[in-house]
Amino acid sequence: MKSTHLLAALSLAVLLLGTSMSATAGEGHDHGDAAPAAAGTALPRFAAVSETFELVGVLDGKQVTLYLDRFADNAPVRGAKIEFEIAGAKFNAQAHGDDAYEIVLKQAPKPGVLPITATVTAGTEVDLLAGELDLHEAPHAEEAAHEHSWKEYAGWAVGGLAALAVLVLGGRRLMAARQPQAGGAAWGSRTFRADWCALA
């Protein structure tokens, strides 16, 4: 009867351990619905300010989106002409939507600190703005930190509990097997003493 319980416990432990391992192998390595690590990083941006205007740019690959505001009240400047220069290459910004401008570079800039200048013409006002775009090299995919999902931790916990259950049941089985032998030895010693006393 005890061997039947032990076999059942071992079967359950193997089943739980196999389920946890398949969960970690299947969902832990492809990360399922987990968002990529780079999803939360902000796009590179720069700012160039003068006494009249404030120019903010956002780089997304080869596309640069520019936002031009008045420095005094932060009001957007519409219909301006912006001659934009980045790392020695010159571009004319085009209107993009209601209050933005856009430039498409020939290629995505390489990492480094890139000088930026913009000549802004808004009506009779002409101003020169300067700034810098600081680009850092993105980490390689293999160097990115591996993040574990809660399913992986749950799988490891279930596997650990299953192994613990096997150890406990195995220990009980071993102790149960040793008890009759110890009892038999005690009975034998008592019988030996009784026989020795009778002979004496």
Residues in the chain: 200
Expressed in angstroms, the distance from the first to the final Cα of the chain is 45
**Average pLDDT for the chain:** 74
What the block records as the tokens of 22 is 């398949």
Architecture of domain 41-136 in CATH?
Sandwich (2.60)
Nearest to 59 by CA among 97, 111, 98, 99: 111
CA distance 81 to 101: 9
Neighbours of 148 (CB within 10 A): 13
Q: List pLDDT tens digits, range 95-146.
A: 998 889 999 999 988 899 999 999 999 999 999 999 999 988 655 544 445 5
Neighbours of 161 (CB within 10 A): 14
Listed by start position, the domains of the chain span 2-30+149-199, 41-136
Least confident of 15-19, 74-78, 167-171, 177-181: 15-19
